[in-house]
Amino acid sequence: MLSKNTVKFIKSLHQKKYRFESGKFFVEGEKSVQEVLSSNFETELLLATELFLEKNQKLLESFRGELISVSPKQLESLGQYQSNDSCLAVVKMKANQPFSPEKDELIIALDDVRDPGNLGTILRIADWYGIKNLVFSPQTAELYNPKVIQSSMGSFTRVNFFYGDLEQIFQKWNLPVYGAFLDGENVHQIKRVQPGVILMGNESKGISEKLEKWISKKVTIPAFGNAESLNVAIATAIICDNFKRILGS
Amino acid sequence: MLSKNTVKFIKSLHQKKYRFESGKFFVEGEKSVQEVLSSNFETELLLATELFLEKNQKLLESFRGELISVSPKQLESLGQYQSNDSCLAVVKMKANQPFSPEKDELIIALDDVRDPGNLGTILRIADWYGIKNLVFSPQTAELYNPKVIQSSMGSFTRVNFFYGDLEQIFQKWNLPVYGAFLDGENVHQIKRVQPGVILMGNESKGISEKLEKWISKKVTIPAFGNAESLNVAIATAIICDNFKRILGS
Protein backbone atom coordinates (compact mmCIF):
# COMPACT_ATOMS: atom_id res chain seq x y z
CA MET A 1 0.00 0.00 0.00
CA LEU A 2 1.07 3.54 -0.70
CA SER A 3 1.81 5.30 2.61
CA LYS A 4 1.54 9.01 3.27
CA ASN A 5 5.27 9.13 3.90
CA THR A 6 6.05 7.60 0.53
CA VAL A 7 3.74 10.08 -1.17
CA LYS A 8 5.46 12.93 0.65
CA PHE A 9 8.90 11.60 -0.22
CA ILE A 10 8.15 11.21 -3.94
CA LYS A 11 6.64 14.68 -4.10
CA SER A 12 9.78 16.08 -2.46
CA LEU A 13 11.81 14.68 -5.39
CA HIS A 14 10.34 17.35 -7.65
CA GLN A 15 12.79 19.69 -5.92
CA LYS A 16 16.51 19.61 -6.57
CA LYS A 17 17.31 20.18 -2.90
CA TYR A 18 15.56 16.99 -1.82
CA ARG A 19 16.90 15.00 -4.75
CA PHE A 20 20.42 15.81 -3.62
CA GLU A 21 19.68 15.27 0.06
CA SER A 22 18.34 11.79 -0.64
CA GLY A 23 20.54 10.96 -3.63
CA LYS A 24 17.42 9.83 -5.49
CA PHE A 25 15.24 10.91 -8.41
CA PHE A 26 12.15 9.65 -10.14
CA VAL A 27 11.40 8.31 -13.59
CA GLU A 28 7.88 7.94 -14.95
CA GLY A 29 6.11 6.46 -17.94
CA GLU A 30 6.36 2.95 -19.32
CA LYS A 31 9.21 3.34 -21.79
CA SER A 32 11.54 5.30 -19.52
CA VAL A 33 10.92 2.98 -16.57
CA GLN A 34 11.51 -0.09 -18.74
CA GLU A 35 14.82 1.40 -19.80
CA VAL A 36 15.89 2.29 -16.27
CA LEU A 37 14.99 -1.21 -15.05
CA SER A 38 17.14 -2.70 -17.84
CA SER A 39 20.07 -0.37 -17.05
CA ASN A 40 22.76 -0.32 -14.40
CA PHE A 41 20.85 2.31 -12.41
CA GLU A 42 19.51 0.95 -9.12
CA THR A 43 15.73 1.25 -8.83
CA GLU A 44 14.72 1.27 -5.17
CA LEU A 45 10.99 1.61 -5.45
CA LEU A 46 8.53 0.96 -8.21
CA LEU A 47 4.94 2.14 -8.17
CA ALA A 48 3.05 0.33 -10.89
CA THR A 49 -0.50 -0.19 -12.09
CA GLU A 50 -1.92 -3.67 -12.65
CA LEU A 51 -1.65 -2.98 -16.38
CA PHE A 52 2.10 -2.31 -16.16
CA LEU A 53 2.67 -5.34 -13.92
CA GLU A 54 0.88 -7.63 -16.35
CA LYS A 55 2.71 -6.32 -19.41
CA ASN A 56 6.17 -6.39 -17.83
CA GLN A 57 6.29 -9.65 -15.87
CA LYS A 58 9.51 -10.82 -17.49
CA LEU A 59 11.34 -7.56 -16.87
CA LEU A 60 10.23 -7.53 -13.23
CA GLU A 61 11.50 -11.04 -12.46
CA SER A 62 14.94 -9.68 -11.66
CA PHE A 63 13.70 -6.57 -9.85
CA ARG A 64 14.91 -6.55 -6.22
CA GLY A 65 13.47 -3.24 -4.98
CA GLU A 66 10.18 -2.48 -3.31
CA LEU A 67 7.08 -2.80 -5.46
CA ILE A 68 3.79 -1.03 -4.70
CA SER A 69 0.63 -1.48 -6.72
CA VAL A 70 -1.14 1.81 -7.43
CA SER A 71 -3.94 3.27 -9.51
CA PRO A 72 -3.36 5.63 -12.47
CA LYS A 73 -4.97 8.37 -10.40
CA GLN A 74 -2.42 7.92 -7.62
CA LEU A 75 0.43 8.04 -10.15
CA GLU A 76 -0.86 11.21 -11.70
CA SER A 77 -0.87 12.97 -8.34
CA LEU A 78 2.79 12.04 -7.77
CA GLY A 79 4.64 12.74 -11.00
CA GLN A 80 4.61 15.50 -13.56
CA TYR A 81 2.61 13.66 -16.21
CA GLN A 82 -0.99 14.72 -16.68
CA SER A 83 -1.85 11.14 -17.47
CA ASN A 84 0.14 8.10 -16.39
CA ASP A 85 -1.48 4.68 -16.47
CA SER A 86 1.71 2.71 -16.03
CA CYS A 87 4.44 3.41 -13.49
CA LEU A 88 6.84 5.63 -11.58
CA ALA A 89 10.24 4.51 -10.31
CA VAL A 90 12.43 5.96 -7.58
CA VAL A 91 16.05 5.51 -8.63
CA LYS A 92 19.44 6.12 -7.02
CA MET A 93 21.65 8.81 -8.54
CA LYS A 94 25.06 7.76 -9.76
CA ALA A 95 28.21 9.19 -8.24
CA ASN A 96 29.72 12.10 -10.20
CA GLN A 97 32.53 9.97 -11.59
CA PRO A 98 34.93 11.44 -14.18
CA PHE A 99 35.68 9.15 -17.10
CA SER A 100 38.82 8.98 -19.23
CA PRO A 101 38.03 9.31 -22.90
CA GLU A 102 39.44 7.12 -25.64
CA LYS A 103 41.54 8.78 -28.32
CA ASP A 104 39.12 7.90 -31.10
CA GLU A 105 35.76 8.87 -29.67
CA LEU A 106 33.49 11.88 -29.95
CA ILE A 107 32.50 13.49 -26.66
CA ILE A 108 29.94 16.23 -26.04
CA ALA A 109 30.77 19.01 -23.56
CA LEU A 110 28.09 21.48 -22.45
CA ASP A 111 29.01 24.91 -21.14
CA ASP A 112 26.07 26.10 -19.02
CA VAL A 113 23.22 24.69 -21.10
CA ARG A 114 20.49 25.69 -18.65
CA ASP A 115 17.22 24.44 -20.07
CA PRO A 116 16.30 20.93 -18.86
CA GLY A 117 14.44 20.16 -22.10
CA ASN A 118 17.55 21.01 -24.10
CA LEU A 119 19.75 18.80 -21.91
CA GLY A 120 17.36 15.86 -22.19
CA THR A 121 17.13 16.27 -25.96
CA ILE A 122 20.93 16.41 -26.21
CA LEU A 123 21.20 13.12 -24.27
CA ARG A 124 18.84 11.54 -26.82
CA ILE A 125 20.90 12.94 -29.70
CA ALA A 126 24.13 11.64 -28.14
CA ASP A 127 22.53 8.21 -27.79
CA TRP A 128 21.34 8.28 -31.43
CA TYR A 129 24.83 9.11 -32.70
CA GLY A 130 26.56 6.56 -30.44
CA ILE A 131 28.26 9.22 -28.34
CA LYS A 132 28.76 7.51 -24.99
CA ASN A 133 30.41 10.22 -22.93
CA LEU A 134 29.29 13.72 -22.02
CA VAL A 135 30.73 16.29 -19.66
CA PHE A 136 28.88 19.26 -18.20
CA SER A 137 29.98 22.54 -16.63
CA PRO A 138 28.69 22.92 -13.06
CA GLN A 139 26.01 25.42 -14.18
CA THR A 140 24.53 23.09 -16.79
CA ALA A 141 20.99 21.89 -16.00
CA GLU A 142 20.79 19.06 -13.48
CA LEU A 143 20.52 15.70 -15.21
CA TYR A 144 18.09 14.29 -12.62
CA ASN A 145 15.54 17.07 -13.15
CA PRO A 146 12.27 15.33 -14.17
CA LYS A 147 12.11 17.35 -17.40
CA VAL A 148 15.58 16.15 -18.41
CA ILE A 149 14.64 12.56 -17.68
CA GLN A 150 11.40 12.92 -19.62
CA SER A 151 12.87 14.56 -22.71
CA SER A 152 15.79 12.12 -22.86
CA MET A 153 13.27 9.31 -23.55
CA GLY A 154 15.37 6.75 -21.68
CA SER A 155 18.67 7.78 -23.27
CA PHE A 156 20.01 8.99 -19.90
CA THR A 157 20.47 5.31 -19.00
CA ARG A 158 22.83 4.67 -21.92
CA VAL A 159 25.36 7.49 -21.64
CA ASN A 160 28.08 8.38 -19.15
CA PHE A 161 28.32 11.87 -17.80
CA PHE A 162 29.87 13.96 -15.10
CA TYR A 163 29.92 17.60 -13.99
CA GLY A 164 33.22 19.41 -13.62
CA ASP A 165 35.34 22.44 -14.45
CA LEU A 166 35.64 22.31 -18.24
CA GLU A 167 38.95 24.19 -18.32
CA GLN A 168 40.62 21.69 -16.04
CA ILE A 169 39.05 18.80 -17.93
CA PHE A 170 40.18 20.03 -21.36
CA GLN A 171 43.67 20.60 -20.00
CA LYS A 172 43.82 17.09 -18.61
CA TRP A 173 42.37 15.37 -21.66
CA ASN A 174 44.45 17.20 -24.23
CA LEU A 175 42.04 16.35 -27.09
CA PRO A 176 40.86 18.53 -29.99
CA VAL A 177 37.96 20.73 -28.88
CA TYR A 178 35.44 21.84 -31.54
CA GLY A 179 33.39 24.84 -30.52
CA ALA A 180 30.12 25.85 -32.17
CA PHE A 181 30.37 29.54 -33.14
CA LEU A 182 28.76 31.78 -35.72
CA ASP A 183 32.14 32.61 -37.35
CA GLY A 184 33.84 29.22 -37.66
CA GLU A 185 34.51 26.78 -40.49
CA ASN A 186 31.38 25.68 -42.37
CA VAL A 187 30.63 22.09 -41.27
CA HIS A 188 29.51 21.28 -44.80
CA GLN A 189 32.98 22.06 -46.11
CA ILE A 190 35.11 20.31 -43.52
CA LYS A 191 36.71 17.29 -45.20
CA ARG A 192 38.47 15.68 -42.25
CA VAL A 193 38.15 15.81 -38.49
CA GLN A 194 39.96 14.11 -35.65
CA PRO A 195 37.68 12.71 -32.98
CA GLY A 196 37.52 14.91 -29.90
CA VAL A 197 35.20 17.10 -27.91
CA ILE A 198 32.18 18.94 -29.37
CA LEU A 199 31.64 21.94 -27.10
CA MET A 200 28.22 23.64 -27.05
CA GLY A 201 27.50 26.88 -25.20
CA ASN A 202 24.77 28.48 -23.16
CA GLU A 203 21.39 29.23 -24.78
CA SER A 204 21.84 32.99 -24.75
CA LYS A 205 25.56 33.64 -24.16
CA GLY A 206 27.13 30.83 -26.18
CA ILE A 207 30.53 29.48 -25.18
CA SER A 208 32.11 31.39 -22.31
CA GLU A 209 35.19 33.47 -22.98
CA LYS A 210 37.45 31.59 -20.61
CA LEU A 211 36.94 28.42 -22.65
CA GLU A 212 37.80 29.99 -26.00
CA LYS A 213 41.52 29.36 -25.60
CA TRP A 214 40.85 25.62 -25.43
CA ILE A 215 39.10 25.56 -28.80
CA SER A 216 41.13 23.83 -31.52
CA LYS A 217 38.64 24.67 -34.25
CA LYS A 218 35.56 26.84 -34.48
CA VAL A 219 32.78 25.25 -36.49
CA THR A 220 29.64 26.81 -37.92
CA ILE A 221 26.37 25.52 -39.24
CA PRO A 222 25.80 27.35 -42.53
CA ALA A 223 22.74 29.61 -42.62
CA PHE A 224 20.73 30.07 -45.79
CA GLY A 225 17.97 32.28 -44.41
CA ASN A 226 17.37 34.94 -41.78
CA ALA A 227 17.04 33.25 -38.40
CA GLU A 228 19.72 34.64 -36.10
CA SER A 229 20.44 31.38 -34.35
CA LEU A 230 19.36 27.81 -33.79
CA ASN A 231 18.28 26.22 -30.54
CA VAL A 232 21.30 24.58 -28.84
CA ALA A 233 19.85 21.06 -29.05
CA ILE A 234 19.18 21.52 -32.77
CA ALA A 235 22.72 22.82 -33.27
CA THR A 236 24.18 19.90 -31.33
CA ALA A 237 22.27 17.46 -33.52
CA ILE A 238 23.45 19.05 -36.75
CA ILE A 239 27.08 19.17 -35.67
CA CYS A 240 27.01 15.55 -34.47
CA ASP A 241 25.40 14.52 -37.76
CA ASN A 242 28.07 16.28 -39.81
CA PHE A 243 30.95 14.95 -37.68
CA LYS A 244 29.62 11.40 -37.92
CA ARG A 245 29.24 11.81 -41.68
CA ILE A 246 32.81 13.09 -42.03
CA LEU A 247 34.27 10.45 -39.69
CA GLY A 248 32.31 7.87 -41.66
CA SER A 249 31.60 5.37 -38.89
CA MET B 1 -4.65 53.29 -19.94
CA LEU B 2 -5.22 49.59 -19.84
CA SER B 3 -8.95 48.90 -19.54
CA LYS B 4 -10.58 45.87 -17.98
CA ASN B 5 -12.04 44.94 -21.33
CA THR B 6 -8.62 44.96 -22.98
CA VAL B 7 -7.23 42.79 -20.19
CA LYS B 8 -10.11 40.37 -20.62
CA PHE B 9 -9.68 40.31 -24.38
CA ILE B 10 -5.94 39.60 -24.26
CA LYS B 11 -6.43 36.87 -21.70
CA SER B 12 -9.04 35.29 -23.97
CA LEU B 13 -6.37 34.99 -26.69
CA HIS B 14 -4.69 32.23 -24.68
CA GLN B 15 -7.51 30.04 -25.97
CA LYS B 16 -7.70 28.83 -29.55
CA LYS B 17 -11.46 29.34 -29.66
CA TYR B 18 -11.18 33.06 -28.97
CA ARG B 19 -8.18 33.48 -31.25
CA PHE B 20 -10.25 32.14 -34.13
CA GLU B 21 -13.36 34.07 -33.18
CA SER B 22 -11.44 37.34 -33.19
CA GLY B 23 -8.89 36.45 -35.87
CA LYS B 24 -6.14 37.74 -33.56
CA PHE B 25 -3.25 36.37 -31.51
CA PHE B 26 -0.59 37.79 -29.25
CA VAL B 27 3.18 38.04 -29.41
CA GLU B 28 5.33 38.90 -26.42
CA GLY B 29 8.92 39.73 -25.64
CA GLU B 30 11.15 42.36 -27.21
CA LYS B 31 12.72 40.36 -30.02
CA SER B 32 9.53 38.71 -31.27
CA VAL B 33 7.57 41.96 -31.13
CA GLN B 34 10.33 43.83 -32.98
CA GLU B 35 10.17 41.20 -35.68
CA VAL B 36 6.40 41.30 -35.95
CA LEU B 37 6.44 45.11 -36.15
CA SER B 38 8.96 44.89 -39.00
CA SER B 39 6.95 42.24 -40.84
CA ASN B 40 3.87 42.32 -43.04
CA PHE B 41 1.69 41.19 -40.14
CA GLU B 42 -0.69 43.88 -38.95
CA THR B 43 -0.23 44.77 -35.28
CA GLU B 44 -3.43 46.27 -33.88
CA LEU B 45 -2.47 46.92 -30.32
CA LEU B 46 0.86 47.28 -28.58
CA LEU B 47 1.27 47.23 -24.82
CA ALA B 48 4.74 48.49 -24.00
CA THR B 49 6.80 49.54 -21.00
CA GLU B 50 8.63 52.86 -20.88
CA LEU B 51 11.85 50.91 -21.37
CA PHE B 52 10.62 49.33 -24.61
CA LEU B 53 9.26 52.64 -25.90
CA GLU B 54 12.57 54.39 -25.29
CA LYS B 55 14.65 51.67 -26.92
CA ASN B 56 12.42 51.30 -30.00
CA GLN B 57 11.49 54.86 -30.99
CA LYS B 58 12.64 54.45 -34.56
CA LEU B 59 10.74 51.22 -35.10
CA LEU B 60 7.57 52.75 -33.62
CA GLU B 61 7.57 55.78 -35.90
CA SER B 62 5.68 53.87 -38.56
CA PHE B 63 3.38 52.04 -36.14
CA ARG B 64 -0.28 52.90 -36.82
CA GLY B 65 -2.07 50.77 -34.22
CA GLU B 66 -3.13 51.57 -30.68
CA LEU B 67 -0.34 51.98 -28.16
CA ILE B 68 -0.83 51.57 -24.40
CA SER B 69 1.90 52.19 -21.86
CA VAL B 70 2.02 49.49 -19.18
CA SER B 71 4.16 48.26 -16.30
CA PRO B 72 6.14 44.98 -16.42
CA LYS B 73 3.80 43.66 -13.73
CA GLN B 74 0.76 44.29 -15.94
CA LEU B 75 2.46 42.53 -18.86
CA GLU B 76 3.31 39.51 -16.77
CA SER B 77 -0.32 39.08 -15.78
CA LEU B 78 -1.41 39.09 -19.44
CA GLY B 79 1.00 36.83 -21.31
CA GLN B 80 2.61 33.50 -20.65
CA TYR B 81 6.05 34.81 -19.71
CA GLN B 82 7.00 34.73 -16.06
CA SER B 83 8.92 37.91 -16.57
CA ASN B 84 8.35 40.44 -19.31
CA ASP B 85 9.72 43.95 -18.96
CA SER B 86 9.17 44.99 -22.54
CA CYS B 87 6.00 44.43 -24.56
CA LEU B 88 3.06 42.42 -25.82
CA ALA B 89 1.44 42.90 -29.23
CA VAL B 90 -2.00 41.90 -30.46
CA VAL B 91 -1.70 40.93 -34.10
CA LYS B 92 -4.12 39.97 -36.87
CA MET B 93 -3.94 36.43 -38.23
CA LYS B 94 -3.27 36.02 -41.92
CA ALA B 95 -5.79 34.34 -44.18
CA ASN B 96 -5.13 30.65 -44.86
CA GLN B 97 -3.85 31.30 -48.36
CA PRO B 98 -2.35 28.44 -50.40
CA PHE B 99 0.86 29.29 -52.24
CA SER B 100 2.18 27.84 -55.46
CA PRO B 101 5.70 26.54 -55.07
CA GLU B 102 8.57 27.19 -57.43
CA LYS B 103 10.14 24.19 -59.15
CA ASP B 104 13.53 24.73 -57.54
CA GLU B 105 12.65 25.29 -53.90
CA LEU B 106 12.58 23.13 -50.80
CA ILE B 107 9.27 23.06 -48.93
CA ILE B 108 8.48 21.53 -45.55
CA ALA B 109 5.19 19.64 -45.10
CA LEU B 110 4.06 18.54 -41.63
CA ASP B 111 1.66 15.66 -41.19
CA ASP B 112 -0.01 16.12 -37.79
CA VAL B 113 2.96 17.50 -35.84
CA ARG B 114 1.00 18.17 -32.67
CA ASP B 115 3.40 19.74 -30.20
CA PRO B 116 3.47 23.57 -30.37
CA GLY B 117 7.11 23.68 -29.27
CA ASN B 118 8.05 21.37 -32.14
CA LEU B 119 6.14 23.48 -34.66
CA GLY B 120 7.78 26.70 -33.45
CA THR B 121 11.23 25.12 -33.56
CA ILE B 122 10.57 23.84 -37.09
CA LEU B 123 9.63 27.38 -38.22
CA ARG B 124 12.98 28.60 -36.84
CA ILE B 125 14.81 25.79 -38.64
CA ALA B 126 13.02 26.59 -41.91
CA ASP B 127 14.01 30.23 -41.52
CA TRP B 128 17.65 29.27 -40.82
CA TYR B 129 17.83 27.12 -43.95
CA GLY B 130 16.08 29.67 -46.15
CA ILE B 131 12.98 27.53 -46.61
CA LYS B 132 10.21 30.04 -47.25
CA ASN B 133 7.16 27.85 -47.64
CA LEU B 134 5.57 25.33 -45.30
CA VAL B 135 2.32 23.42 -45.50
CA PHE B 136 0.55 21.74 -42.60
CA SER B 137 -2.09 19.02 -42.34
CA PRO B 138 -5.25 20.25 -40.59
CA GLN B 139 -4.32 18.38 -37.37
CA THR B 140 -0.90 20.01 -37.09
CA ALA B 141 -0.53 22.34 -34.08
CA GLU B 142 -2.04 25.78 -34.54
CA LEU B 143 0.57 28.30 -35.63
CA TYR B 144 -0.91 31.12 -33.52
CA ASN B 145 -0.63 29.16 -30.27
CA PRO B 146 1.53 31.31 -27.93
CA LYS B 147 4.02 28.44 -27.49
CA VAL B 148 4.54 28.20 -31.25
CA ILE B 149 5.09 31.95 -31.49
CA GLN B 150 7.52 31.88 -28.57
CA SER B 151 9.61 28.94 -29.76
CA SER B 152 9.80 30.26 -33.33
CA MET B 153 11.78 33.27 -32.00
CA GLY B 154 10.29 35.61 -34.59
CA SER B 155 10.76 33.24 -37.53
CA PHE B 156 6.98 32.89 -37.97
CA THR B 157 7.07 36.38 -39.53
CA ARG B 158 9.44 35.30 -42.32
CA VAL B 159 7.83 32.15 -43.67
CA ASN B 160 4.66 31.44 -45.63
CA PHE B 161 2.37 28.67 -44.50
CA PHE B 162 -1.08 27.27 -44.94
CA TYR B 163 -3.16 24.38 -43.64
CA GLY B 164 -4.73 21.92 -46.06
CA ASP B 165 -5.28 18.35 -47.13
CA LEU B 166 -1.77 17.09 -47.91
CA GLU B 167 -2.96 14.44 -50.37
CA GLN B 168 -4.74 16.98 -52.50
CA ILE B 169 -1.83 19.39 -52.24
CA PHE B 170 0.78 16.80 -53.26
CA GLN B 171 -1.43 15.78 -56.17
CA LYS B 172 -1.77 19.35 -57.32
CA TRP B 173 1.90 20.27 -56.93
CA ASN B 174 3.33 17.17 -58.58
CA LEU B 175 6.74 17.66 -56.94
CA PRO B 176 9.11 15.06 -55.46
CA VAL B 177 8.11 14.28 -51.86
CA TYR B 178 10.83 13.11 -49.47
CA GLY B 179 9.48 11.30 -46.41
CA ALA B 180 11.47 10.76 -43.22
CA PHE B 181 11.27 7.05 -42.33
CA LEU B 182 13.41 4.62 -40.37
CA ASP B 183 13.96 2.38 -43.43
CA GLY B 184 14.82 4.82 -46.20
CA GLU B 185 18.00 5.87 -47.97
CA ASN B 186 20.76 7.12 -45.65
CA VAL B 187 20.91 10.92 -46.02
CA HIS B 188 24.69 10.78 -45.68
CA GLN B 189 24.92 8.65 -48.81
CA ILE B 190 22.53 10.51 -51.10
CA LYS B 191 24.57 12.21 -53.81
CA ARG B 192 21.88 14.17 -55.63
CA VAL B 193 18.41 15.42 -54.84
CA GLN B 194 15.85 17.40 -56.75
CA PRO B 195 14.25 20.21 -54.78
CA GLY B 196 10.80 19.29 -53.53
CA VAL B 197 8.82 18.64 -50.38
CA ILE B 198 10.34 17.33 -47.13
CA LEU B 199 7.48 15.57 -45.33
CA MET B 200 7.74 15.01 -41.57
CA GLY B 201 5.24 12.93 -39.60
CA ASN B 202 3.48 12.95 -36.27
CA GLU B 203 5.52 12.68 -33.04
CA SER B 204 4.36 9.18 -32.21
CA LYS B 205 2.80 7.74 -35.38
CA GLY B 206 5.13 9.13 -38.03
CA ILE B 207 3.82 9.76 -41.55
CA SER B 208 0.26 8.55 -42.03
CA GLU B 209 -0.39 5.58 -44.28
CA LYS B 210 -2.56 7.45 -46.75
CA LEU B 211 0.36 9.76 -47.57
CA GLU B 212 2.84 6.97 -48.26
CA LYS B 213 1.81 6.65 -51.90
CA TRP B 214 2.86 10.24 -52.50
CA ILE B 215 6.41 9.64 -51.29
CA SER B 216 9.00 9.70 -54.10
CA LYS B 217 11.86 8.71 -51.82
CA LYS B 218 12.14 7.56 -48.22
CA VAL B 219 15.08 9.10 -46.43
CA THR B 220 16.65 8.09 -43.12
CA ILE B 221 18.98 9.72 -40.66
CA PRO B 222 21.66 7.14 -39.89
CA ALA B 223 21.78 5.93 -36.30
CA PHE B 224 25.06 5.03 -34.65
CA GLY B 225 23.78 4.28 -31.15
CA ASN B 226 20.72 2.95 -29.38
CA ALA B 227 18.09 5.69 -29.23
CA GLU B 228 14.96 4.46 -30.99
CA SER B 229 14.09 7.77 -32.57
CA LEU B 230 14.79 11.48 -32.69
CA ASN B 231 12.43 14.31 -31.84
CA VAL B 232 10.64 15.51 -35.01
CA ALA B 233 12.15 19.01 -34.87
CA ILE B 234 15.64 17.53 -34.52
CA ALA B 235 14.97 15.19 -37.44
CA THR B 236 13.65 18.07 -39.55
CA ALA B 237 16.81 20.06 -38.87
CA ILE B 238 19.12 17.20 -39.80
CA ILE B 239 17.26 16.44 -43.03
CA CYS B 240 17.19 20.12 -44.03
CA ASP B 241 20.92 20.39 -43.27
CA ASN B 242 21.74 17.38 -45.42
CA PHE B 243 19.50 18.48 -48.30
CA LYS B 244 21.01 21.96 -48.29
CA ARG B 245 24.50 20.44 -48.25
CA ILE B 246 23.66 18.14 -51.19
CA LEU B 247 21.91 20.91 -53.15
CA GLY B 248 24.90 23.12 -52.48
CA SER B 249 23.20 26.47 -52.25
Task: Dump pLDDT digits (tens) for A129-181.
Answer: 999 999 999 999 999 999 999 999 999 999 999 999 999 999 999 999 999 99
For residue B188, the chain A residue with the least C-alpha distance is: A245
Q: What percent of chain B has pLDDT over 70?
A: 100
Could you give the CA distance from residue A141 to residue A64 in angstroms, rounded to a whole number?
Answer: 31
B182 touches chain A (CB under 8 A): no
A226 touches chain B (CB under 8 A): yes
Q: Is the dihedral of CA A176, A179, A183, A189 positive or negative?
A: positive
One fold for B4-92 and B107-247 = no
Could you give the CA distance from residue B242 to residue B247 in angstroms, rounded to a whole number?
Answer: 8
- Per the CB < 8 Å rule, is A125 touching B153? no
Query: Which residues in chain A are contacts of B222 at CB distance < 8 A?
Result: 244
Q: How confident is the model at residue B64 (pLDDT cuts 50, 70, 90)?
A: very high
| Per-residue pLDDT, A249 | 57
| Residue of A227, A245, A249 lying closest to B124 (CB–CB) | A227
Q: In this structure, what DSSP letter does residue A221 have?
A: P
Rounded to 5 degrees, what are φ and ψ at B219?
Answer: -120, 155
A157 touches chain B (CB under 8 A): no
Could you give the CA distance from residue A131 to residue B6 in angstroms, rounded to a whole number?
Answer: 52
| Residue of A227, A233, A244 lying closest to B128 (CB–CB) | A227
Average pLDDT for chain B = 95
- Whole-Å CA distances, A61 to A56, A92, B120: 9, 20, 43
B204 touches chain A (CB under 8 A): no
Q: Which of B203, B189, B112, B121 is CA-nearest to residue B155?
A: B121
A172 touches chain B (CB under 8 A): no
Query: Which residues in chain A are contacts of B229 at CB distance < 8 A?
Result: 153
Q: Decide if pLDDT at A38 tops 70.
A: yes
Per-residue pLDDT tens digits for A15-35 = 999 999 999 999 999 999 999
Could you give the CA distance from residue B222 to residue B217 in angstroms, rounded to a whole number?
Answer: 16
Interface test with B, best of A226, A236, A239, A242 (most B CBs within 10 A): A226
Q: Decide if pLDDT at A118 tops 60.
A: yes
| Per-residue pLDDT, B182 | 86
Q: What percent of chain A has pLDDT over 70?
A: 100
A128 touches chain B (CB under 8 A): yes
Q: How confident is the model at residue B46 (pLDDT cuts 50, 70, 90)?
A: very high
Calculate how close chain B gets to A2, using CA atoms only, in Å. 32
Q: How confident is the model at residue B249 (pLDDT cuts 50, 70, 90)?
A: low
Q: Which of B16, B69, B19, B64 is CA-nearest to residue B44?
A: B64
| Per-residue pLDDT, B40 | 94
* Long-range contacts, B103-106 (Cβ 8 Å, 24+): B103/B175, B103/B195, B104/B195, B105/B131, B105/B132, B105/B133, B105/B195, B106/B131, B106/B195, B106/B196, B106/B197, B106/B198, B106/B240, B106/B243, B106/B244, B106/B247
Query: Mean pLDDT across the stretch B62-87?
Result: 91
Per-residue pLDDT tens digits for B86-140 = 999 999 999 999 999 988 999 999 999 999 999 999 999 999 999 999 999 999 9
- Per the CB < 8 Å rule, is B224 touching A126? no
Q: Decide if pLDDT at A98 tops 80.
A: yes
| Per-residue pLDDT, A60 | 94
For residue A187, the chain B residue with the least C-alpha distance is: B245
Per-residue pLDDT tens digits for B192-208 = 999 999 999 999 999 99
Per-residue pLDDT tens digits for B205-222 = 999 999 999 999 999 999
Query: Mean pLDDT across the stretch A218-243?
Result: 96
Is B114 within 8 Å of B169 (Cβ atoms)? no
A1 touches chain B (CB under 8 A): no
Tell me the three state secondary structure of residue B218: strand
CATH topology for B107-247 is: Alpha/beta knot (3.40.1280)
| Residue of A131, A153, A231 lying closest to B121 (CB–CB) | A231
| Residue of A130, A225, A229 lying closest to B225 (CB–CB) | A130
- Per the CB < 8 Å rule, is B127 touching A227? yes
Q: Which helix (H) or strand (E) holds B173?
A: helix B166-173
| Per-residue pLDDT, B82 | 82
A126 touches chain B (CB under 8 A): yes
Question: Where are the domains positioned within chain A?
Answer: 4-92, 107-247
Query: Which residues in chain A are contacts of B155 at CB distance < 8 A?
Result: 226-227
Q: What percent of chain A has pLDDT over 90?
A: 93
Q: What's B4-92's CATH class? A: alpha beta
| Per-residue pLDDT, B84 | 86
Q: How confident is the model at residue A90 (pLDDT cuts 50, 70, 90)?
A: very high
| Per-residue pLDDT, B219 | 97
| Per-residue pLDDT, A248 | 84
- Partners of residue B199 on adjacent β-strands: B109, B179
- Per the CB < 8 Å rule, is A127 touching B238? no
| Per-residue pLDDT, B83 | 84
Query: Which residues in chain A are contacts of B242 at CB distance < 8 A?
Result: 241
